[in-house]
Amino acid sequence: MNIPVNRPSVGQEELRGVEEVFKTGWLGMGSVVFEFENLLKKYLGARNVIAVNTGTSALHIALYSMGIKSGDEVILPSLTFASSPQAVLMCAAKVVFCDIEEDTLNMCVADVKKKITRKTKAIMPVHYSGLPCDMNSILALAKKHGLRVVEDAAHAFGSIYNGKKIGSFGDATCFSFDPIKLITCGEGGAVVTDDDTLAEKIVRKRILGIDKDTYNRYKHKRNWFYEVRELGYRYHMSNINAAIGIAQMDKIEGFLKRKREISAMYDEGLKDVKMIGLIKKDYADVAPFNYIIKVKGNKRDELMTFLHDKGVDTGVHYIPNHTQPFFKQHRTSLPKTEKIAGQILTLPLYCDMTDKDVGHVVSSIREFFNP
């Protein structure tokens, strides 16, 4: 059996939570979702948390609720999952891709400065692999130009920047709780914001523009009356997904500890492999989402094949979006991104991975470079 790149860590606690929801008969959005939101508020130190059905929905509804529209531009890195730019396009706005820093793989603030025009309305930093972006510089730049900041923190739940958890810096921070994130809801996401007015808009828009004053019908009071105030979407989270998330929140410190241990083992085991470049992180502040290495000498694809034959699955996170067919009208020259794209390789990293598994991955890589 191969060692997978990622795998959720779920057990009887999650099953019991789902079973309790089934017993109530209230499977959609209800009190369990609100309980999950309150847990997230406490953990993140956040003013407002709105749970939604996916991380992509979180990005879209945050941008949409800010009024991002046709004719507007949003700057974001190309080295991210396709959901990031697609959320911009869902608002009919223009995607403007920026380059990255080679040492962190996060957005290059200097390139963001060059991309700002009179049409720019927002910046979307992506905290790649859990490593926070240079938020001080990004926020200062946004303030100077009157721009909104929507953080794509799909990789960074639990990460810390300047002593505070990611989730309290930009106008809105968007998380993902899909099956391979630090915690999972099966599928899910959340928007975090200190802006009460923005939060109210998002609350309405996540369920078809229904005014929040009618939400008592989602608290086991089946009032028949409701008012649709504006355009919205069916983006709300279900009690089933929230129950899984609540059980996962009880385990988060153990998850963080284990993923940091595995990452440190990789660092130690690969630090002297000359053909491998490591991304340096302070694991005290980083919640590792995945473990990325940079393979030099055009050997990345050969290494992938070799590891597969050794029973080790790997991945590439990500194929830059500006090279994808769907985004051809947004193509631009991003030298650092294009260079890194041919080097990056994602190694297995998940909480149930054993020390023996990690050792096998490391020894296999070392064998490839030193047969």
Tens of pLDDT, residues 272-283: 999 999 999 999
User: How far is Cα 77 from Cα 21, in angstroms, rounded to an integer?
Assistant: 39
> Among 48-62, 214-228, 302-316, which is the least confidently predicted range?
214-228
Is 90 exceeded by the pLDDT of residue 163? yes
- Domain with 265 in it: what CATH number? 3.90.1150.10
Mean pLDDT of 5-30: 97
Is 60 exceeded by the pLDDT of residue 143? yes
Q: How many domains does the chain have?
A: 2
Biggest CA pair distance of the chain: 72
Set 94, 121, 165, 181: catalytic member: 181
179 shares a domain with 165: yes
Asked if 165 and 159 count as a contact pair (C-beta separation under 8 A), the reply is yes
Question: 139-175 burial string, b = 16+ CB within 10 Å, else e?
Answer: bebbeeeebbbbbbbbbbbbbebeeebbbbbbbbbbb
Is 80 exceeded by the pLDDT of residue 214? no
Helical segments of 130-226, H only: 135-145, 196-205
Is 70 exceeded by the pLDDT of residue 216? no
Residue 56 in domain: yes
**CB within 8 Å of 32: residues ≥ 6 apart:** 21, 239, 242, 243, 246
Of the three residues 249, 281, 309, the one that is the final residue of a domain is 249
Residue 327's pLDDT is what? 96
Residue 294 in domain: yes
264 shares a domain with 227: no
Asked if 84 and 322 count as a contact pair (C-beta separation under 8 A), the reply is no
207 shares a domain with 280: no
Nearest to 270 by CA among 248, 295, 241: 295
pLDDT tens-digit readout, 106-115? 999 999 999 9
319 shares a domain with 287: yes
233 shares a domain with 286: no
User: How far is Cα 300 from Cα 71, in angstroms, rounded to an integer?
Assistant: 40
Residue 218's pLDDT is what? 53
Question: 39-54 burial string, b = 16+ CB within 10 Å, else e?
Answer: bbbebbebebbbbbbb
Residue 166's pLDDT is what? 98
User: How far is Cα 184 from Cα 243, in angstroms, rounded to an integer?
Assistant: 10
Which residues, listed in sequence order, are joined to residue 347 by a DSSP beta bridge? Answer: 291
256 shares a domain with 236: no
pLDDT tens-digit readout, 180-202? 999 999 999 999 999 999 999 99
**How far is C-alpha 54 from the geometric centre of its chain's CA atoms?**
10
Nearest to 73 by CA among 133, 115, 126, 125: 115
Is 90 exceeded by the pLDDT of residue 210? no
First to last CA, the chain: 24
Strands of the chain, DSSP E: 48-52, 73-77, 94-98, 120-123, 148-152, 160-161, 164-165, 172-176, 189-193, 276-278, 291-295, 344-347
Q: What does pLDDT average to over the chain?
A: 95
240 shares a domain with 352: no
236 shares a domain with 261: no
193 shares a domain with 137: yes
Residue 1 in domain: no
Angle (nearest 5°) at CA 341 between 338 and 342: 105
Of the three residues 249, 273, 295, the one that is the final residue of a domain is 249
181 belongs to the catalytic site: yes
What percentage of the chain reaches a pLDDT higher than 70? 96
185 shares a domain with 235: yes
pLDDT tens-digit readout, 236-250? 999 999 999 999 999
272 shares a domain with 222: no
Is 90 exceeded by the pLDDT of residue 25? yes
Domain that holds residue 319: 252-369
Helix 239-249 vs helix 12-24: angle between axes, to the nearest 10 degrees? 150
Nearest to 53 by CA among 263, 199, 180, 239: 239
Of the three residues 216, 249, 282, the one that is the final residue of a domain is 249
Asked if 240 and 21 count as a contact pair (C-beta separation under 8 A), the reply is yes
Handedness of CA 58, 62, 65, 67 (dihedral sign): negative
Nearest to 281 by CA among 168, 165, 128: 128
Mean pLDDT of 73-102: 98
18 shares a domain with 119: yes
- Domain with 60 in it: what CATH number? 3.40.640.10
